[in-house]
Amino acid sequence: MYKKGLKMLMVIGSAVSLTLTGCGNGGGSTTNGTTAPTVTPTTTTSTQPSKPAEKVKLTFWDENPGPNRTPFYEELIKRFQTKNPNIEVEYVGIPASGAKQKYDVSIAANDTPDVAGINMVWLSDFVAKGAVQELDPYFKDWSDKDKIATNMVEFDRGLSANNKLYYLPHTMFLDILWYRTDWVKDAGLKAPTTWDDFFTNTEKLTDIKNNRYGFSIRGGSGSINQLTSMIYAYSGITEYFTPDGKATVRDPKIAEFLNKYAALYKKNTPVSDVTNSNKEMNATFDTGTSAMIQHNFGSFNDHVTNLGKDKFAGVIPPKAANGKRVVVPVANGLVMFKNSKHPQEAWKFLSFLMNADSQTYWNQNIGQMPTNTDALKSDYVKNTQHIQQGAEVLADKDTVALKLPFHLPDYTKITTQQLEPDFQRVLTGKMSVDDFLKGWATSMEKAKADYDASLKK
């Protein structure tokens, strides 16, 4: 099921590319920032006001709050409450650096929100804990269910071990290398469209005396998600496991990349990188400390605000030496928790966030790609260059979407509790690359073997 879902992400890329053809914003290897147009919402069948006798209060958690997200959720909540005056929604932002831990504590304490945004890699863990509500009974009767393509829904089902629907994504993105076009031009360099260009630019654009670095590495919370994208993009390896259950991080090409990548730390990157999460890493770019970072579509609008649209651009991580471009599409979204005392109202709010108007408003303001097929036809999608580039990459015959084992119950635990601190040890020279990758492979292989064995019981 998961593979079918990945194919659907590629289909979405093809569909967006067709929609964009002839729109006047030609593709290419670089992305020039453009500010998205304002969208006026229209009425949809899923957001009609209702008048139950009782006033209901819902709690909504955002797993990654901040000035580039919170105001837009607050606006969507305001619109929802206008349509549904009997329902009050309390917004609660959970700082990203400790979000998973906060969710885990709330689950253990039986004190979860009604609806929440989550990182999709957390889902299998939450399902295993029995914390999230199955959405199939609600989704099958939703008037807009056909706006979310069937194979996208299959992708969502594949995120859990039992293949049921617990999660609906309202945004999708790819990793991207944001870089300073003005610095590249002044240095007589090229856009980092090859791995040689990436490493050359990182070295040539470093000027430590003037507090300028060629790159910034995410070494803190969330580091393994980004590192995974980079090591597989460089290696061109298209599977996470071999047919006999061995983890492909054992491949020499991955060690080759990681040795070169880790060697950049302190020499071509800020010392603070070892503990930097996404916000701190992005800040090095936006304040002129780093010439290049690897993040995703979601930081686009922040870069426009801080740098101006003419000083930066983005490229999807380059193709590997074997000609393959390996990407890890991410579709983050929404869940309902089983503890909700108001599941019908919770679903009403979740489905409101999934409709075309809400998705268009949300994605244009955070700079990402909608998953609702009507929203994919919006002017925002047609007129936003990095979304075009992402669509072109997804539609390219040489692009392969890597299947990550999110369905393994121990996947998130391994990446956050073992691999994140171990990667910091690699950066600081306290652990070798070989030992790091061996530990990674061993833990994932055991997690897969345990999961496979559980299916046979």
* Domain assignment of residue 39, yes or no: no
Asked whether residue 292 falls in the same domain as residue 382, the answer is: no
Asked whether residue 366 falls in the same domain as residue 390, the answer is: yes
User: What pLDDT is stored for residue 153 in this prediction?
Assistant: 81
Amino acid at 134: E
* Domain assignment of residue 213, yes or no: yes
Residue 288, token pair as written in the block: 């002129």
Tell me which residue of 1, 28, 47 sits closest to 357, measured CA to CA: 47
How many CB atoms lie under 10 A from the CB of residue 19?
Answer: 16
Domain boundary among 348, 375, 396: 396
pTM of the model: 0.76
Asked whether residue 228 falls in the same domain as residue 262, the answer is: yes
Asked whether residue 78 falls in the same domain as residue 199, the answer is: no
Instruction: Tell me the DSSP string of 141-173.
Output: T-TTGGGS-HHHHHHHHTTSTT-----EES-BB
Asked whether residue 363 falls in the same domain as residue 433, the answer is: no
On whether the CB atoms of residues 255 and 234 are closer than 8 A, the answer is no
Asked whether residue 238 falls in the same domain as residue 319, the answer is: yes
Instruction: Tell me the DSSP string of 278-295.
Output: HHHHHHHHHTTSBSEEEE
* Domain assignment of residue 429, yes or no: yes
Domain boundary among 378, 396, 414: 396
On whether the CB atoms of residues 437 and 254 are closer than 8 A, the answer is yes
Asked whether residue 347 falls in the same domain as residue 436, the answer is: no
Residue 93's domain comprises 56-173+330-396
* Domain assignment of residue 43, yes or no: no
User: What pLDDT is stored for residue 17 in this prediction?
Assistant: 55
> Radius of gyration (Cα) for the chain, nearest Å?
21
Distance CA 90, CA 96 (A): 18
CATH number of the domain that residue 156 is part of: 3.40.190.10
- Number of domains observed in the structure of the chain: 2
Q: How many CA atoms lie within 13 A of 457 on its CB side?
A: 6
Distance CA 149, CA 11 (A): 10
Asked whether residue 252 falls in the same domain as residue 363, the answer is: no
On whether the CB atoms of residues 160 and 123 are closer than 8 A, the answer is yes
Place of tokens 């260059």: 385
Asked whether residue 188 falls in the same domain as residue 324, the answer is: yes
* Domain assignment of residue 49, yes or no: no
* pLDDT tens for each residue of the chain, 457 residues long: 455 455 556 656 665 555 554 443 333 333 333 333 344 444 444 445 555 558 999 999 999 999 989 999 999 999 999 999 999 999 999 998 899 999 999 999 999 999 999 988 899 889 989 999 999 999 999 999 999 867 678 778 878 878 899 999 999 889 999 999 999 999 999 999 999 999 999 999 999 999 999 999 999 999 999 999 999 999 999 999 999 999 999 999 999 999 999 999 999 999 999 999 999 999 999 999 999 999 999 899 899 999 998 999 999 999 999 999 999 988 889 999 999 999 999 999 999 999 999 999 999 999 898 989 898 888 888 888 788 888 888 888 999 989 899 888 899 899 999 999 999 999 999 999 999 999 999 999 999 999 999 888 7
Asked whether residue 336 falls in the same domain as residue 321, the answer is: no
Asked whether residue 275 falls in the same domain as residue 423, the answer is: yes
405: which residues sit within 8 A by CB, 6+ positions away?
240, 241, 411, 444, 447, 448
Domain boundary among 396, 421, 438: 396
* Domain assignment of residue 2, yes or no: no
Asked whether residue 187 falls in the same domain as residue 309, the answer is: yes
* Domain assignment of residue 36, yes or no: no
User: What pLDDT is stored for residue 426 in this prediction?
Assistant: 99
* Domain assignment of residue 3, yes or no: no
